[in-house]
Amino acid sequence: MDGNGRWATARGLERAQGHKAGAQTFRAISTYCAKLGIESVTFYAFSTENWKRPENEVNALMKLFRDFLEEAQEREKENEEIGFHIKFAGDTANMPEELVNLFEICEKRSADKTGTTVNIAVNYGGRAEITNAARRIAEKVKNGEMTVDDIDEDTISSMLYTAGQPDPDLIIRPGGESRISNFLIWQSAYSEFYFTDILWPDFTEDDLDRAIIDFCSRNRRFGAV
Ligand code: IPE
Ligand code: MG
């Protein structure tokens, strides 16, 4: 979800205001994904590298996540929110405890929901995710729970935050940059990419439709001819 800062600056607003606007877009687009019947969707909200940002921006983002999750709970009580399954993807280790608890509550409360799974990647990094998987596998081998020969690609997939979910068919990056920035690097081996200059707060349902229509015209061969 890129481009919040530039969206705000262009309007003479604080960057935090752009993140707020981006959160509204997240609400609209995640709801739309559920409406479309998309099985699984992941939103990249905060990377392991985003801690390098100024402290006030990091704090504003953490506060926004908290407010947003609290509000989502309220809405759910009033039955306004489409019931999708929320999953947290990321390293909880150096995150504010209060926020980790909120994510846990949201995961638990939505665990019985069928339909779309919405993964929210916070303090997420693809390399950190794979490193973490390698550590867990090494631990299992050390404990005699598995042998080196047992390790295959499915073993790695099963140790990622997205375990049990399909690899992404399509990855959309708004905000004008053409790079992956450590997002789902294992899972995206055969994903189709869609880059657009639209800044995330401006991203609409129509833009998602356009990306999906573009995706439908791709010829996916998965290495075959
Ligand atoms: C949102 O957009 C990404 C987050 C880390 C929340 P940016 O904050 O990267 O916006 P730009 O790229 O500065 O416009
Ligand atoms: Mg950016």
Ligand 1 atom having least distance to the Cα of 53: 5
Q: Mean pLDDT check: name the lowest of 18-27, 105-114, 123-132, 148-157.
A: 105-114
For the Cβ of 6 lying below 6 angstroms from any atom of ligand 1, the answer is: yes
Distance 175 CA to ligand 1 centre (A): 8
Identify the CATH homologous superfamily for domain 4-215: Decaprenyl diphosphate synthase-like (3.40.1180.10)
Residue ranges of domains in the chain: 4-215
The CB of 1 under 6 Å from ligand 1? The reply is: yes
What are the strands of the beta sheet with 40-47, ordered from one edge? 40-47, 117-124, 85-89
Distance 122 CA to ligand 2 centre (A): 15
Query: What's the pLDDT tens digit per position in 52-85?
Result: 999 999 999 999 999 999 988 888 777 655 578 8
What pLDDT, in 10s, does the model give residues 168-221?
999 999 999 999 999 999 999 999 999 999 999 999 999 999 999 999 999 999
pTM to 2 decimals? 0.95
User: CA dihedral defined by 124, 13, 197, 28, rounded to 10 degrees?
Assistant: 60
Is 19's C-beta closer than 6 angstroms to any atom of ligand 1?
yes
Signed CA dihedral, 199, 200, 201, 204: sign only = positive
How far is 202 from 4, CA to CA, in rounded Å?
9
User: For residue 137, what pLDDT is reported?
Assistant: 98
Catalytically annotated residue among 50, 91, 169, 202:
50
